[in-house]
Structure 1
Amino acid sequence: MSPINEYAAVQLLDEAFRHWTGQGLPAPESLTGTERLHWLHEHAPYSLLAHGTEDDPRFFYANEQTLASFKYDRSQFLGMPSRFSASPLDRAMRQTLLEQVTVNGIAHGYSGWRVDRDGNAFMIYEGKVWTLIDQHGEHRGQAALFWPDSSRVGVID
């Protein structure tokens, strides 16, 4: 994905988050425009990821923190079915969460287990999952934000 496409994806996630919460994604207040989108993609201390609307939804966006948490290269992660982000034991709980988001538009405060590329489980904290709606009101998938470290939840550097 080129920086232009990455920034377009981040902007979609940010605008949809604002639709559901009334606020943009957490970022330093001093950043605006492309500088803010760059920070969200490259430097956010939380994971930001999204999957599309396929029958078996596939990831189409992941920021740098997501790739570090899941231990994938971008080329391996993008296009992967999003169900593989959870272990087989945790997929039913994950699916229930996604169904709640489909009904309500957004879910807050989710914590749970995910699995990295090597099959190692890791905990995610204070997750938010929301429906992606583009500027034309079209449903484009679902996005998630989660913190990989409970001691850093809400801390924006």
Structure 2
Amino acid sequence: MIANYNDAGLDLSYDPESYALMAESFEQSVGRSLTPEGQGAEWLYDQSPAVVLAHNTDADPRFIYANRAAQACFEYSWDEFITLPSRLSAEAPDRAERERLLNAVAANGFIADYRGLRIAKSGRRFYIENAIVWDLVDRSGCRRGQAATFDSWQDVQAD
């Protein structure tokens, strides 16, 4: 049974169906595997050096997944992340740019080599580098949200 990703409070950290949705959508869109061969949900959540985030299809999309690398990068716990509207990962002036990105992903299925300014819980600003953003599409063709992965970011130096 596919989870209803618009229900708040679901713990999808190790959920095999959610992992399959992210991994299969990534491979279908990008043409390569999200995880090393033989690795699955546990590896992606606990051990992946790359940040992996996903949000649902709410009118104001909310994060539904953030692996440990994402939690460290953005400085939010799992419980904080899954209640956070994804727009809050960018500062207000950068939200229009973020919205253009998400619309481009919706139109094209994915975007690679994305660079954008983001903000952590502490207010630390950083650029994500070489991010891949893709649509989460289930086996029946229903769009369930969007996800992003990146393994490089650069803190913005204070003026």
Task: State the match for 1:141 in structure 2.
Answer: 145
Q: Cα offset for 1:2?
A: 6.2
Deviations 1:29-77 (A, max 9, x none): 4xx1xx4321111111111010001100000011110000000111011
Q: Which residue of 2 aligns with 1:116?
A: 120
Aligned residues: 144
Q: Could you tell me whether the CA contact under 8 Å between 1:10 and 1:41 is conserved in 2? A: no
Q: Does 1:132 align with 2:136?
A: yes
Is residue 28 from structure 1 mapped to residue 59 from structure 2 by the alignment? no
After TM superposition, the score normalised by the length of structure 1 is 0.85
Name the CA shift for 1:38/1:115 in 2 (closer, same or farther; >3 Å): same
Which consecutive residues of structure 1, in runs of 5 or more, have no partner in the other structure?
151-157
List alignment gaps of at least 5 residues for structure 2: 1-10, 155-159
Per the alignment, residue 45 of structure 2 pairs with: 41
- Looking at structure 1, the residues matched to 83 and 147 of structure 2 have their Cα atoms a distance apart, in angstroms, of 14
Q: 1:61 aligns with which of 61, 65, 79?
A: 65
Paired residue type of 2:126:
F
Find the counterpart in structure 2 of residue 14 from structure 1. 23
Q: Which residue is equivalent to 1:154?
A: none
Letter in 1 for 2:110: I
More helix by share: 1
- What root-mean-square deviation, in Å, do the aligned CA atoms of Structure 1 and Structure 2 show? 1.6
Quick one: distance in 2 between partners of 1:142 and 1:2? 15
CA distance in 2, matches of 1:40, 1:51: 16
Q: What is the letter of the counterpart of residue 91 of structure 2?
A: S
Mapped partners of 2:64, 2:152: distance in 1: 20
SS in 2 for 1:123: strand
Deviation, structure 1 residue 3 = 5.4
